[in-house]
Structure 1
């Protein structure tokens, strides 16, 4: 789980409870954009969005980042990211202007970035089977979760 909020300092106690739940369920808990907050919470790691080029290196924390195209390869190396989130894999409701990467490109991208990766964006119950046997470490996304719980946006 990646926790992303501009008011994380105000929500510190709520985030701490969410972290406890994630630990109980054996979910990885990442804080977006802030090494200091991730470290103080005891989070599993930090997720860096596309605006970040450098970070504090800490072998105890999982470092992840976003990948939106070949221009992000240098950034992945600079951050020493252990996992990359490739997006969007399919068309998504959260950002209708972004072009999907598609499943054929995923194999090429994975070989190019040479690190563990997760796909997100537009993953649904109806297309998840297309992701089999492609070396994908994990999937992410609200569309998929909303499909499972039958939630309508």
Structure 2
């Protein structure tokens, strides 16, 4: 990071998803390495009050374990919710320094990451995934090609599990993120 944010940029990320029961999600967050993990809180379809309540429980875990907690959505919301960062396409400035991440699924989004000044990106889906059943996976070759197009750290997402770690560096990934790979 370029000094805009006080926390270390993790190489391991838990992505939240409504398919995962809250208890399993909280347990996975509590297992992330102390001072070395991050959470991207999505839950886009969750009712607003329940979404905020779950975020607050995760924020308590994140603070206790020194994890980075990012909110998917508008930068203004991430700042108001006292998240450590914002995940998404919103490039507006925040009232305070926030870590910024974006998703990359194709070359157009890789170019957008460079222009947006993101701190890291999640390139996906590397492998087939249950969260996007029937979606086309990038595979190693196309993943590596996208990873070369960005100039920020790349996190591999989509069907990634701990056993894939040895292969990730060779295809341009600086770390990895998962839903099922961390909650199962």
Q: Residue 111 in 1 paired to residue 111 in 2?
A: no
Q: Which residue of 2 aligns with 1:85?
A: 122
SS at 2:132 equivalent: coil
Higher normalized helix content (fraction of residues): 2
SS of 2:68 mapped into structure 1: coil
CA contact (8 A) 2:127 2:139 kept: yes
Once the 2 structures are TM-superposed, how far is the Cα of residue 5 of structure 1 from its aligned partner?
Answer: 2.6
User: Which is worse superposed, 126-135 or 94-103?
Assistant: 126-135
Following TM superposition, by how much is the alpha carbon of 1:126 offset from its aligned partner in structure 2, in angstroms? Answer: 4.6
Deviation at 1:114, TM superposition (A): 1.4
* Residue 40 of structure 2: aligned partner: 2
Q: Report the TM-score, using the length of structure 2 for normalisation.
A: 0.68
Alignment TM-score, normalising by the size of structure 1:
0.80
Bigger relative contact order, structure 1 or 2, given CA contacts below 8 A and separation 6+?
2
Q: Runs of 5+ in structure 2 lacking a partner?
A: 1-38
1:16-59 deviation digits (Å, cap 9, x = unpaired): 231121122122111011222211121110000xxx4x421247
Mind listing any 5+ residue stretches in structure 1 that lack a counterpart? none
Does the 8 Å CA contact 1:31/1:45 hold for their aligned counterparts? yes
* Aligned Cα root-mean-square deviation (Å): 2.2
Indicate yes or no: 2:74 matched with 1:37. Answer: no
